[in-house]
Structure 1
Amino acid sequence: MTKIQNYVENVFAGLPKTKEAVEMKLGIIDSMEEKYSELLSMGKNENEAFGEVIADFGSIEEIREELGLAQPRYESVLREGSHAPSAPLETTDALSDPDDFNQFQKKFRLAITTGVVFCILALIGTLVTERVSGEDSNAPAIVFFCFIAIAVGIFVYFGMQYSAYENKRATQSVRHTSQNRGNEIVDALCGIIMLVATVIFLFLGFFGSLWHPGWVVFPIGGVICGIVDIVAKLWKKS
Structure 2
Amino acid sequence: MTRAIAHDAAMYVTAATQQMRALAHLLGPEIILTGWPVTRAVAEHCGRAAWLLGTDAEPMGRVARYYMEWIASISFARSDAKSMGKTAEARELSDERDAVLVKFREVISDAELFVGKAPTGDWTVGGESYAALAKAVSNFGRDALNGKGLYDGLSSFSHPSLYRLRQQTRTTELDDRTHHGFTAQPENVQWQFAVASGSVYRAAHHVVAYLGLDETPLEVWADRQPALLGWSQAGG
Give the structure-2-normalised TM-score. 0.29
Bigger Rg, which one: 1
Give the structure-1-normalised TM-score. 0.29
